[in-house]
Amino acid sequence: MPTELLYAGLLRHHGFCAVTIENIRKRNSKKELFEFVVSATFGG
């Protein structure tokens, strides 16, 4: 399972909303590796 999806699911499970996943850059070490920002807001 992709880690960014795991983090997004955990945030939703614990009451966060407006969860977003943003791909910010490709890693140099391997072509299939990317860095992500997972953000959310708490409450309604």
Calpha distance 33→39 (Å, rounded): 19
- In this predicted structure, the answer to whether residue 15 has a pLDDT above a threshold of 70 is yes
**What is the pLDDT averaged over residues 18-35?**
85
pLDDT in the model for residue 11: 96
At 28, the amino acid letter reads N
**What is the pLDDT averaged over residues 31-43?**
88
pLDDT in the model for residue 10: 97
Q: How many CA atoms lie within 13 A of 38 on its CB side?
A: 14
Residue 38 near residue 20 (C-beta atoms within 8 A): yes
Calpha distance 41→38 (Å, rounded): 11
Residue 5 near residue 21 (C-beta atoms within 8 A): yes
- In this predicted structure, the answer to whether residue 39 has a pLDDT above a threshold of 90 is yes
